[in-house]
């Protein structure tokens, strides 16, 4: 098959498999696990734009997920707003957060930007805990209604699964369009050389701000979906540990790729539920994996940075090129 046909065939087959999964799997818990995969894919693709394309690091993405989750929870559970409106506003609120975080990115690079985003994440984590009247504080926010679209409430795992993956598909499509046209090259040019980008007429500031906002919006939408799928949120969900996990997905996924972060998000999310996925696995083995999960993420990041810079995406690009010439 030609590489051009493959470019369409592979996503089409993957999309089909993802779409029919709830029809094949009877286990409701497994469907839920794959719903969580979808939620993380949305965040990872957004972070892929920011990190893998524009070269900007964020250690605060869990904060955007949290902002989206709390916004949606408050608007639907407390104010009885229609779910779809709350969902859209969740993305907007998180996007606004992205705008705030974009400001330091205009002056800071590398480690310093990482520190600033980490500080932002911790700050928001504090807000989630302390803003009791809105967030419910450390006890969390309960009784978040299921998503309902045009009077139709989605409460079955399969319905929720399709909603989440529908949003994920749109997010991937939107992101893919951006990266395939001028904006994608502009992002990569900022990553490649800011001096060169400026000299080529790229609006470096504009690109950074936009990517931060888009990336944060994706995270916020994922958070809003999470809140309505699970029905309960608390500050312990949106911590530095989650931010590190998201960054791990982006780093392992690789540079200048959307498929890479999506695949990495899938693998890392499934790692959390090994006991449900691997039938023979003992309870203690599964627990050990869960306990060491943050360490595994850290180790994976280190291994990728040391031995496979460019991540999964660079590995299969190299393979593809080797295949063509050989």
Partner 1 sequence: MTLLAVQGLTKRFGGLTAVDNVSFEVFEGTIKALIGPNGAGKSTVFNLLTGFERPDTGAVRFEDRDVTATRPRNLVGQGMARTFQNTQLFDEMTARENVMVGAQARQRTSFLVASLHLPPARSEQREAAEAASHLLRLVGIERWADTEAADLPAGIRRLLEIARALATGPKLALLDEPAAGLNATETRALAQTLYRIRDMGTTVLIVEHDMGLVMEVSDEILVLDRGCKIAEGPPRLIQKDPAVIAAYLGGEEVAADV
Q: Which residues bind partner 1 (CB under 8 A)?
A: 174-175, 177-178, 180-186, 188-189, 191-193, 195-204, 210, 214, 255-256
Chain centre distance of CA 52: 13
- 45's CB contacts (< 8 A; 6+ apart) are 168, 171, 172, 175, 218, 258, 261, 262, 265
Q: Nearest-5° angle of CA 286, CA 288, CA 289?
A: 65
Residue placing its CB nearer to partner 1 in the complex, 121 or 261: 261
Task: Specify the residue, 32 or 185, whose C-beta has the smaller distance to partner 1.
Answer: 185
Own/partner contacts of 179-183, CB < 8 Å, gap of 24 or more, are 179/49, 179/53, 179/256, 179/258, 183/207, 183/210
Nearest-approach distance from CB 261 to partner 1, in angstroms: 16
Question: For partner 1, which is the closer residue by CB, 32 or 191?
Answer: 191
Shortest Å, Cβ 6 to partner 1 = 17
**Cα angle 257-50-256, degrees, rounded to a multiple of 5:** 20
Cα 201 from chain centroid?
30
**Minimal distance in Å, beta carbon 270 to partner 1?**
29
* CA–CA–CA angle 217, 302, 104 (5° rounding): 40
- 141 has which bridge partners? 233
Minimum Å gap between C-beta 68 and partner 1 is 19
Q: What is the DSSP string of 237-252?
A: GSSHHHHHHHHHHHHH
Separation between Cα atoms, residue 272 and residue 181, nearest integer Å: 36
Least distance to partner 1, CB of residue 325, Å: 12
Least separation in angstroms between residue 115's CB and partner 1 is 25
Q: Which is nearer to partner 1, 143 or 192 (CB)?
A: 192
DSSP letter (8 states) at residue 151: T
Nearer to partner 1, 124 or 313 (CB): 313
Residue 165: how many other CB atoms lie within 10 Å: 23
CB-wise, 110 or 196, nearer to partner 1? 196
> Is the Cβ of residue 73 or residue 190 nearer to partner 1 in the bound state?
190
Question: Please, what is the minimum distance in Å from the beta carbon of residue 257 to partner 1?
Answer: 11
List helix spans (H) across 236-310.
Answer: 240-253, 259-272, 274-277, 283-291, 293-307
Query: What minimum distance in Å lies between the beta carbon of 123 and partner 1?
Result: 27
Per the rule left: phi > 0, alpha: psi between -120 and 50, beta: everything else, 135 is alpha
Question: H or E element: which one contains 180?
Answer: helix 157-180
Q: Which is nearer to partner 1, 22 or 184 (by Cβ)?
A: 184
Query: Which lies closer to partner 1 via its Cβ, residue 6 or residue 17?
Result: 6
DSSP, res 153: E
Least Å distance between CB 190 and partner 1?
9
Q: What are the residue ranges of helices labelled H in 48-81?
A: 61-73
């Amino acid at each position: 098959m030609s590489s051009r046909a493959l470019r369409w065939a592979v996503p089409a087959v993957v999309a089909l498999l993802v779409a029919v999964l709830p029809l094949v799997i009877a286990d409701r818990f497994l469907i839920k696990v794959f719903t969580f995969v979808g939620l993380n894919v949305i965040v990872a693709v957004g972070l892929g734009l920011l990190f893998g394309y524009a070269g900007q690091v964020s250690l605060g993405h869990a904060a955007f997920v949290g902002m989206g989750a709390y916004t949606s929870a408050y608007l639907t559970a407390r104010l009885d707003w229609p779910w779809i409106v709350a969902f859209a506003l969740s993305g907007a609120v998180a996007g606004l957060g992205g705008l705030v975080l974009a400001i330091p990115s205009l002056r800071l690079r590398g480690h310093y930007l990482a520190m600033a985003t980490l500080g932002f994440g911790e700050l928001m984590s504090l807000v989630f805990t302390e803003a009791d009247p809105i967030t419910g504080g450390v006890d969390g926010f309960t009784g978040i209604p299921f998503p309902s679209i045009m009077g139709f409430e989605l409460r079955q795992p399969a319905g929720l699964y399709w909603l989440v993956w529908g949003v994920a598909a749109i997010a991937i499509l939107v992101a893919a369009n951006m990266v395939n046209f001028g904006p994608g090259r502009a992002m990569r040019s900022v990553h490649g050389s800011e001096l060169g980008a400026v000299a080529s007429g790229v609006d470096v500031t504009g690109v950074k701000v936009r990517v931060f906002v888009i990336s944060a919006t994706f995270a916020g939408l994922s958070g809003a979906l999470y809140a309505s799928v699970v029905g309960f949120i608390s500050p312990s969900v949106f911590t530095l540990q989650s931010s590190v996990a998201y960054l791990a997905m982006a780093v392992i996924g690789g540079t200048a790729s959307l498929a890479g972060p999506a695949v990495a998000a899938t693998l890392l999310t499934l790692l959390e539920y090994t006991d449900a996925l691997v039938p023979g696995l003992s309870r203690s083995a599964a627990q050990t994996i869960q306990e060491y999960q943050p360490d595994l993420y850290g180790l994976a990041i280190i291994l990728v940075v040391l031995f496979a810079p460019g991540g999964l995406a660079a590995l299969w690009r190299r393979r593809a090129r080797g295949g063509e010439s050989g």
